[in-house]
Structure formats: C-alpha cells, structure tokens
C-alpha cells in the first residue's frame, strides 16, 4: 500500500519543482505587466495563448494523460516495460500526427483570414479591429506550440507513471526562462516597439520554449527506457484502442471545462476591453498556491491510485485519498485566507509599475480575492478527478463537467449583463468558484457511491480545526493590515511571516494528528 509518507514525499518533490516554476512565472508576470500592461494588447495575447493551452489540456496533460497513465501503469505492473513502451510509442505517434495536421490547417486558415481583414466590417482605427488583428497574428505564431507542449505533457505523464516526478515537474521552468529572457530583451532593446509588436515577440519566444520542453521530456523518456521515436506499428492493439476510447470520454469532460474557459474569455471581451487581461493576471497569481499544492497532489495521486487499483487494493486507495486530502487542505486553506485578505498588497507588489497602474491593481486584486475563496475547491478537484480516472472511469468526470457548463454559462451572463462594469470580471471569477464547489460535491457523492466511504466523515474534525487556525491567522493579518506600511512589499514581508507563525502555533494546538505526522515524516 502506498503510505501517506510516500505520497507526501513525492508531493514535496513535485511541489518544490513546481514552486520554482511558479516563482519564475511570477517574475515573468511582474515583467510582462510592466512592459505590456493590462489593456487590449494583453487581452489579445491572453486569448491567443488560451488556444494552445486548450489543446494541452485536452491532448496533453489533460484527457490523453488521464486516459493513458492508468493503462500504461497497468502494462508496467502486469506485462513489463517492453510492452508498455510499445503502447507509449504508438499513442505518442498518433497524437503528434493528428496535432501536426491540425496545426497545418490552422496556420493556412489564419493566414487566409488575416489577408482578407478588409472584409471584417470594423473601423480600421478602432480598438476592436486592432485587438482582433493582434489576436489572430499571435494565434498563428502560437499554433505550432500545440504540438510541442502536448508532446512534452505526454512525456510528463510517462515519467510520472514510472514514479519519476522531478524532471517532469522542472520542465515548465524552460518556458519561464525563455519568456523572461525575451522580456528582458524587450526591456533593454525594445523601446522602439509598440505593445502589439512586443506581444508578437513574446509569442515567438513561447514557441521556441515549447520545442525545448518537448526535446527535454523526450530525452528523459529515452533515459528511462521509453523510446519516443515515431512508429506506425501497434496502432490497433487493444491497449491503444482503450487509451483512445477513454481519451474521447475524458476529452469531452475536459472539453466542457475548456468551453467554460472559452466562454469566460469571450464574455470578458464584452464585460470591458481590459477584463480578459485582468482575469488572466488574477488566474496566474493563483497558479502559485494551486500549482505548488493542488497540482502537485493531483500529479502524484493519479499514478498512485492507478497502481493501487491495478492491485485491487481499494482500501489502500481510500487511505491514500484521506491522508493526501487532509494534508492538502492543511496547506491550501490558510493559503486561501492569506491571499484573500492580502489580495491588494500581493497584486501591487507583483504587478504594479510601468503600464500597470492603480486601476489595474484594484481590478486584479478584486478578482484575486474572489478566486481565493475557491482554492480549497480547486485543490480538492485535483484529488477527486484522478480517483475516477485511475479506475478508467472517464464518464463520471465527463457527466459532472458537462453539467457545470450550463451553470457557468448562466452565472457568467448574469455577471456580464447585471453587474456594474468594474465588477463584471469579479462575477466571472465567482462563477468559476461556484462551479468548482458544485463539482467537488457531486464527485464526492459519486466516489462514495462507487467505492464506499473515502474518509469525508473523518475529515470533518481536522478541517474544522484547520479552519479555526485559519480564522486566528486571518484575524491577526486583518488587524495589522491597516497600519501605514511604507510599501506593499514591506507589508507582505511583515504580515505573511506573522500570519504563518500564528497559523502554525494554532495548528500545533488544535491538530494533534498533524503534529504526529510531522514528527514521523522525515
């Protein structure tokens, strides 16, 4: 049975590597906010970058990985590495071939569309015209990134299934290093470029980073005995067919999530010219706690659950879920409280400066505070969805995701058409939080119905005590926050350590079970 300490150690590896990537990501965002700002240029870039990211979540680390990892893990456990390698090569080759054809058609179509822009019936001097033109140009540059990042994400899935988490978790750092490099170049040598031209330079750097990421993951796969070379054999073997059948189901579920995301982006364009960029900045701020904790647990739990279910060890899987969820909430809930209370200071410290003014700080901090309420739900989703995927059940997450599309659409439209302009983007963030909470509730009920009690009743006591410790921490921060701090950075340098000390002290008193685990975990 995979013990709680083993899961925590693997999660610490993933979390540490992810933390490095997220810190680099924050540096990147600090630079981009000052060089690009939060206007229509950033909104155009956000929409263009969303398209390859959508493919990554559908065919890379999302649906395909979720379908592939349990079957690959089963092949490794039961048949050995040689048969597992044949499965991996066949699936990877088919994926790259499909993506290559899609990208080629997309680039041709976008080139034709851009060349006929006179027929757009938009004012050539207006913001909508220039925003659309920049979005299409940036999208054309970024489309090949779909191939690279999906190949890299597939490599991450293979390595994670083999218990090799460090290299896969470090891979996103390559993107941030390339991105920061081009921003540094623009800061020193891009003075003659307008904001739209800067966005296109950034898109080229992302494309180069994608190639480096895929090459690095393929090299790591080869070192572990899994050849990434293209093959046309084995495409119709039963294991490959199962992967694609499950991928189709998982893709529909992931597609529902991406429909929600795309709907957010489209409605944000109607909410205000700056709304899409503002929401994007807020989402990336939430990537640090969610990536370090929630994504780290989800990354480790999928192969862990898959291995346990392959051995028919349901009791071990239940215990792994309980211990990991308790540990995840122990970190995620105080992070939610801290981010929610300190949202203005965090936003100003990271983003403010250059083209990012006080209005942008106010708008982004409102969305950040709203997203913070959902951190616990976002993290819990990362634990619940792998529970079903590890059992090759893609239908349940699909059903839940599909049904939340309607709820999200209704809440988003109410936000855009009923709220004041300065609060519409907050409504978009709030609808995401509500849908995440509804998804967690539904997935939890389905998991209990399928496999028996997972430990939710046992979690009630620890979660209640964690919330009490969070309340003590939040109260101290809220009382100290109004003091006249000389800068947001100084305020954070004082308030974050003070809040952390209060939380640790309160948790030490309120949570004896966590105290015992911390003593045992080495």
Q: What is the pLDDT of residue 214?
A: 94
Instruction: State the pTM of this model.
Output: 0.71
Mean predicted confidence (pLDDT) in 453-473: 91
Sorting pLDDT into bands at 50, 70 and 90, what band is 103?
A: very high
Residue 261 has what pLDDT?
A: 64
The pLDDT assigned to 399 comes to 85
Using the predicted structure, report yes or no on whether residue 520 has a pLDDT greater than 60: no
Q: Find out whether 442 and 385 touch, Cβ atoms under 8 Å.
A: no
Residue 58 is predicted with a pLDDT of: 67
Q: Are 440 and 485 in contact (CB under 8 A)?
A: no
pLDDT at residue 5, rounded to an integer: 58
Q: How do residues 236-262 score in pLDDT, each as one tens digit?
A: 888 888 888 887 777 676 666 666 666
The yes-or-no verdict on residue 78 having pLDDT over 60 is yes
Which of 46-60, 273-287, 317-331, 439-453 comes out lowest in average pLDDT?
46-60
- What is the per-residue pLDDT for 2? 46
**Secondary structure (DSSP) of 133-166:** HHHHHHHHHHTTHHHHHHHHHHHHHHHHHTT--H
Percent residues over pLDDT 90 in the chain? 33
Residue-wise pLDDT tens digits, 206-225: 999 999 999 999 999 888 88
Q: What is the 3-state secondary structure (H, E, C) of 226-284?
A: CCCCCCCCCCCCHHHHHHHHHHHHHHHHHHHHHHHHHHHHHHHHHHCCCHHHHHHHHHH
**DSSP code for 59:** I
pLDDT given at position 362: 93
Higher pLDDT, 209 or 351: 209
- Residue 481's Cβ-count burial label (10 Å; 0-12, 13-18, 19+) is middle
Share of the chain above pLDDT 70, in %: 92
At residue 521, the pLDDT reads 45
């Amino acid at each position: 049975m995979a013990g709680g300490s083993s899961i925590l150690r693997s999660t610490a590896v993933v979390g540490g590597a992810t933390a490095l990537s997220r810190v680099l990501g924050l540096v990147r965002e600090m630079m981009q906010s000052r060089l690009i700002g939060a206007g229509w240029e950033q909104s155009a870039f956000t929409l263009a970058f969303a398209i390859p990211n959508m493919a990554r979540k559908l065919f890379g680390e999302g649906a395909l990985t979720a379908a592939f990892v349990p079957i690959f893990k089963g092949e490794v456990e039961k048949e050995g590495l040689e048969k597992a390698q044949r499965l991996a090569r066949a699936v990877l080759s088919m994926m790259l071939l499909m993506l290559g054809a899609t990208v080629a058609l997309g680039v041709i179509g976008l080139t034709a569309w851009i060349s006929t822009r006179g027929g757009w019936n938009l004012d050539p001097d207006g913001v909508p015209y220039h925003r659309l033109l920049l979005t299409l140009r940036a999208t054309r540059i970024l489309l090949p990134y779909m191939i690279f990042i999906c190949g890299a994400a597939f490599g991450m899935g293979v390595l994670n299934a083999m218990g090799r988490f460090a290299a896969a978790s470090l891979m996103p750092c390559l993107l941030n290093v390339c991105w920061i490099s081009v921003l540094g170049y623009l800061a020193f040598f891009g003075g003659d470029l307008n904001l739209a031209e800067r966005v296109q330079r950034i898109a080229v750097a992302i494309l180069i980073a994608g190639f480096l990421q895929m090459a690095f993951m393929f090299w790591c796969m080869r070192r572990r005995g899994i050849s990434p070379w293209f093959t046309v054999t084995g495409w119709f073997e039963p294991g490959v067919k199962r992967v694609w059948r499950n991928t189709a189901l998982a893709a529909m579920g992931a597609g529902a999530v991406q429909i929600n995301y795309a709907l957010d982006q489209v409605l944000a364009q109607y909410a205000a010219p700056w709304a899409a960029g503002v929401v994007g900045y807020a989402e990336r701020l939430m990537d640090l706690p969610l990536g370090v904790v929630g994504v780290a647990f989800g990354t480790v739990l999928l192969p862990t659950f898959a291995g346990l279910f392959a051995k028919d060890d349901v009791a071990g899987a239940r215990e792994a879920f309980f211990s990991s969820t308790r540990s995840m909430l122990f970190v995620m809930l105080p992070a939610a409280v801290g981010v929610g209370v300190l949202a203005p200071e965090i936003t100003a410290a990271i983003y403010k400066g250059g083209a990012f003014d006080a209005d942008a700080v106010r708008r982004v901090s409102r969305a950040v505070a709203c997203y913070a309420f959902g951190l616990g739900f976002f993290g819990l989703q990362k634990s619940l969805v792998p529970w079903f995927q590890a059992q090759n059940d893609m239908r349940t997450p699909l059903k839940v995701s599909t049904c939340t599309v309607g709820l999200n659409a209704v809440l988003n439209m109410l936000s855009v058409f009923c709220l004041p302009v300065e609060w519409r983007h907050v409504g978009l963030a709030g609808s995401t939080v509500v849908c995440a909470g509804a998804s967690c509730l539904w997935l939890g009920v389905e998991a209990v119905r399928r496999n028996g009690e997972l430990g939710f009743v046992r979690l009630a006591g620890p979660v209640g005590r964690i919330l009490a410790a969070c309340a003590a921490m939040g109260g101290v921060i809220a009382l100290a926050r109004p003091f006249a701090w000389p800068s947001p950075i100084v305020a954070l340098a004082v308030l974050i350590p003070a809040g952390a000390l209060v939380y640790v002290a309160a948790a030490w008193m309120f949570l004896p079970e966590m105290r015992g685990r911390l003593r045992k975990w080495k």
